[in-house]
Structure 1
Amino acid sequence: MITPSLLFSSVSTAQKFANTPTYRNFANPEYFRINFDNDIFAHSDDNYTQGISLEIVNSIFRKNPVNYLFFKSKNKSQYGISLEHLTFTPDVISSKEIQYGNRPFAATLYLKSFKITDNLQRKERLYSSFLMGVIGPRAYGKEGQTLIHEATDNWIPYGWRNQLGNDVLINYELNHEKQLLNFKDLLFLNSDLGLRLGSMYTDVSVGSSLMLGLFKSPLSINANKGKFQIYLYSNPKVYIVGYDATLQGGLFNSNNLYTIGSSDITRLKAKMDYGIVIKSGFFYLEYTRSQITKEFKTGKTEGWGGLRLGFRI
């Protein structure tokens, strides 16, 4: 359910957010984008229930010391940061009791630095990111959801008393895309390989992305030209999962009232993102939907939707 954006002072992909795949290419090298996910778009109020992300890409971040963690390249690169907040809940948020066999209450808050490098000759994109943040009460998931539910006379989420404990999140991510097909800037197909390693998510993924409509190829020299573009996209992926702190709790603090045990984690899962993008050199607008297979043995297939709104800076 919706929690207020006033929780932030400054955020599809993600770690739930994948902001920089080629189908989300902004038609300008410097921009600000707001990303909002909520399961209300899927008529639900559980599992991954909300995400908010404030994202800035600007040349001033070229001197960010975190960039030393990323691969050096002579190709065109963009640098940015994002502040992201994610909220997860079980099926019944009003229950004060632990809901065994269901997802635990959890919230995360973190700052992410990232680099996007395009090799236009080889038609490739490499995305690198590093994040640091917290999971647990210090991410203020309880306060946000309680405030909005009280204001709307909705169910009070008493179950946050059982949320995952405070812990540190540190994660590194690499994602590689390679153009496989571009038919007259009407049909575009990419391979999509990913690796996430750290105390929040550890997994590998393989998939593809497809764009269909009127657009400039995101891996061409004209990608950042200000022409009006509109297209549909889909991005199916398969994940092999090693660790998920939003289910299992943090790596460094084992003081949790309830977690999903390692043996109950679904090690192979699939996810599909799809949507529509409208953009020009000045603005970016997207509506997205996502579906994911069950992430633990007693879980179920879940879905959510989102909006992305960006402006040139």
Structure 2
Amino acid sequence: MKYTGYSFLLFLLLLSTLANAQTYKNELGLRSDNDSYLGQGSDRYYTNGLFFNFRHALDQQKLPQNLEKKTYEISLGQKMFNPYSGYAPDPATQDRPFAGYLYVEGAMNWFYSNESIIKASAQIGTTGKNSLGEAGQKLLHRAIGFYDIEGWDYQIKNELALNLSGQYSKLLTRIADNAVEFSFEGYANLGTTLTGAGAGLLFRTGSLNQLFNSAYTNSVIGNHAKTKALVKREIFFYAKPQLNFVGYDATIQGSLFNNNSPVTFGREPLVFAQQLGVDYSSQRFTFDFSVLFKTREIKSTARAHQWGSIGLYYRFDK
């Protein structure tokens, strides 16, 4: 009887350990950005973004002691930009160029045991008509019964896009029984489409995992995990104020190498952004919703702008 009870306790302990240690090596994700998610009836500036990605975690037992996790990812993304409206047939009234940006991205992520993160990525793609921004927006508006689109004849011209990006994050402190957290985030971009840098402070509160095991950093996936997650399910609120220096933005200024786009503007060199969001994540799924507010980005009559973002992610092994 004692043996049976002892065995049962060991069995329960094993189940608990397996449940807590269960991780999946792969993740598929979909993220959609649109200003209509805020219910304001606007359709301006950064009007739509759609992103698909695949992530995979490498075998963690083969990594150096100070490296908790290493992942790679492949992404396909498209961004669309309007003036004050998708119906702006007169170029004289446009306060921002029509522009599209279509790209494929490859990235590597290094998650360290001290909860610092380094990400390096490269994009290849195109701006202009080849980005399918006009076709995508017209298809979307027809599908959901929105107004007619006009003005893309004056969009930014075709240009090959080659961009490099580096990001660095670091946990600053975690307090209140791991329910409140502050981190630093910084990035730098260099390329034919986007060049600039920025830095911000990330605040999270709720049921949190370490930055190398968190849905916020897309690191729930694992492969022979070294360190157990703090919680099986995350649910948290986050806020990230960030100051951005914009060196060049081809979706506003046109080609870096010529001046053949019919409508272009200067860019505001300093842009402040504030992101607010909520995230729920189990070991298999993540749902994220956020809103992002930006100060004026264009040297024109264009105003400040905001949009919503919805992310859905699914993790699996095979």
TM-score when scaled to structure 2? 0.80
2:37 maps to what in 1? 41
- Are 1:28 and 1:225, in contact at CA under 8 Å, matched by a contact in 2? no
Q: 2:159 aligns with which of 141, 149, 167?
A: 167
The one-letter code of the counterpart of 1:41 is Y
Distance 1:279 1:179 in 2: 20
Q: 1:288 aligns with which of 279, 287, 290?
A: 290
Q: Name stretches of at least 5 consecutive residues in structure 1 with no aligned partner.
A: 1-26, 61-71
The Cα RMSD (Å) is 2.3
Residue 283 of structure 1: CA displacement?
0.4
The one-letter code of the counterpart of 1:126 is I
1:246 maps to what in 2? 251
1:154 maps to what in 2? 146
2:235 maps to what in 1? 230
Distance 1:56 1:224 in 2: 22
Change (3 A) 1:113 1:33: same
Q: Name stretches of at least 5 consecutive residues in structure 2 with no aligned partner.
A: 1-22, 59-63, 214-225
Tell me the number of residue pairs that the alignment of Structure 1 and Structure 2 aligns.
274
Change (3 A) 1:229 1:153: closer
Residue 151 of structure 2 aligns to a residue whose secondary structure is helix
- 1:185 paired with 2:178, answer yes
Residue 251 of structure 1: CA displacement?
1.8
Q: 1:106 aligns with which of 99, 107, 114?
A: 99
Residue 148 of structure 1 aligns to a residue whose secondary structure is helix
Distance 1:151 1:229 in 2: 35
1:270 maps to what in 2? 272
Change (3 A) 1:152 1:277: closer
Change (3 A) 1:255 1:233: same
| Structure 1, 98-107 or 272-281: larger mean CA deviation | 98-107
Distance 2:118 2:156 in 1: 33
Q: Which has the larger radius of gyration?
A: 2
Residue 99 of structure 1: CA displacement?
4.1
- Are 1:216 and 1:222, in contact at CA under 8 Å, matched by a contact in 2? no
TM-score when scaled to structure 1? 0.82
Distance 2:56 2:108 in 1: 11
Residue 30 of structure 1: CA displacement?
2.3
Q: 2:82 aligns with which of 70, 85, 89?
A: 89
Distance 1:179 1:104 in 2: 39
- Are 1:132 and 1:169, in contact at CA under 8 Å, matched by a contact in 2? yes
